[in-house]
Amino acid sequence: MHDPVGAFVPGITAEAEPLSAGVLSGLDFAIKDLFDVAGVATSYGHPEWARTHGLAMATAPVVLALLQAGARLRGKTKTVELAYGLTGENAWHGTPTNPAAPDRFPGGSSCGSAAAVAAGLVDFALGSDTGGSVRIPASYCGLFGIRPSYGVLSLAGACGLAPSFDTVGWFARDAATLERVGQVLLPGGATGGLSTLLKVEDAWMNAEPAVATALIPALEKLESACGRALTITLVPEGLEHLYHAFRCLQAQEAWATLGRWVEAVKPEFGPGVQQRFDAAKVQPIAAALHGRELRKLHQARMASLLGGGNVLVYPTSPCAAPKLDASADELQRVRDGTLGVTAITGMAGLCEVTIPVTRVGGAPVGLSLVAAHGRDRALLALTCRAAHIFGMDE
């Protein structure tokens, strides 16, 4: 396949024809290079992983479900090394071009999947989302993206990072395709529509002023159709505390999951990844224990707040994609500001969709809608309705 944006993993061919006709007949898709395809190497963003793990014995069930529904697999897409990064950089395979803003990062860690969809190379693509790895690339590349409720989709045959956060997600250029994939992958879940919009003031205040201002017209359009949004403060402790709790829990789990391999193989990592593993190795147990307590509190709050069908609405990312020449300090600031917002959903295991509603400085920014755990299908239906309100289905 011609790959002008460098979305696919070089040297790995992973194509498969549909196994039968179905809901996804006529659609092409790609998968992040952490999902297994039988007889094909999974490199997990690093050549040493492929070398030390050999060829996959079986195809991941989530991939098989798509093939059985009539879709055609076109290949494996790049990811940040071991999926432990937010910008989309990969020192070994190359960083994909962001088709929506070529002078900016595509976002990670599902960078190749986002780039492939944004460039029109496939109709949809699978990614994974631990701390924002579908939602942020979707926002940066001007796509629809979903992080489903935690635990509703199988991660068998997929490489793990932080198992209590890892989820399967996917990208599409339109809401109808996003929902069409959900018809295949998602369980039935709760019935009934979603109700009141809740404007999360914490996240709006965390966003850069230009981003918040640019997203207000989209919120107002939603309000005109769905009713006035109620403004709430979601995390009284502050988003920075939620971010710190997430970071500590993710680090502990990442080291428990991957530390033995990192220590044994001693792979060379690109910018930032080695530092994250070094920090994870010495993560204090007390910090993770505190993180678990805050997560329990946050989960209880969210269950109470969203149980009646309410929907959170806020900027997916506090900023547009950083430019390729951004300094390491600037990228760290983006990471810190972003993960506090993405942790809202990640720490509670909720479903979240991002919608590409506008641009700032020539780059896309997304608006997120979040519903209670298990309300994934209802959230996708609301996303299709929102796309119609925004005139995106014309």
DSSP 182-222: HHHHS-----S----EEEEHHHHHHS-HHHHHHHHHHHHHH
Residue 43 bears catalytic tag: no
Contact 86, 338 (CB under 8 A): yes
Measure CA 174 to chain center. Answer: 16
Residue 368 bears catalytic tag: no
**Active site residue: 113, 133, 149, 368, which one?**
133
Contact 1, 125 (CB under 8 A): no
Other CB atoms within a 10 A radius of the CB of residue 238 amount to 13
Contacts of 155 (CB under 8 A, 6+ apart): 62, 128, 163, 166, 167, 168
In what side-by-side order are the strands of the sheet with 124-129?
72-77, 28-32, 124-129, 167-172, 144-147, 351-360, 363-371, 311-315, 197-200, 230-232
CA distance 144 to 68: 23
Contacts of 170 (CB under 8 A, 6+ apart): 113, 124, 125, 126, 127, 134, 145, 146, 178, 181, 185
Q: Which long-range contacts (CB under 8 A, 24 or more apart) does 212-220 make?
A: 212/315, 214/358, 214/359, 214/360, 214/365, 215/315, 215/357, 215/358, 215/365, 215/367, 217/358, 218/355, 218/357, 218/358, 218/367, 218/390, 219/313, 219/367
Backbone φ, ψ for residue 76 (5° rounding): -100, 140
**Active site residue: 43, 76, 78, 109, which one?**
109
**Active site residue: 32, 76, 78, 199, which one?**
32
Residue 78 bears catalytic tag: no
CA distance 8 to 74: 9
CA distances for 187 relative to 150, 235, 278, 378, angstroms:
12, 30, 38, 12
Residues forming a β-bridge with 306: none
Q: Which residues are catalytically annotated? A: 32, 109, 133
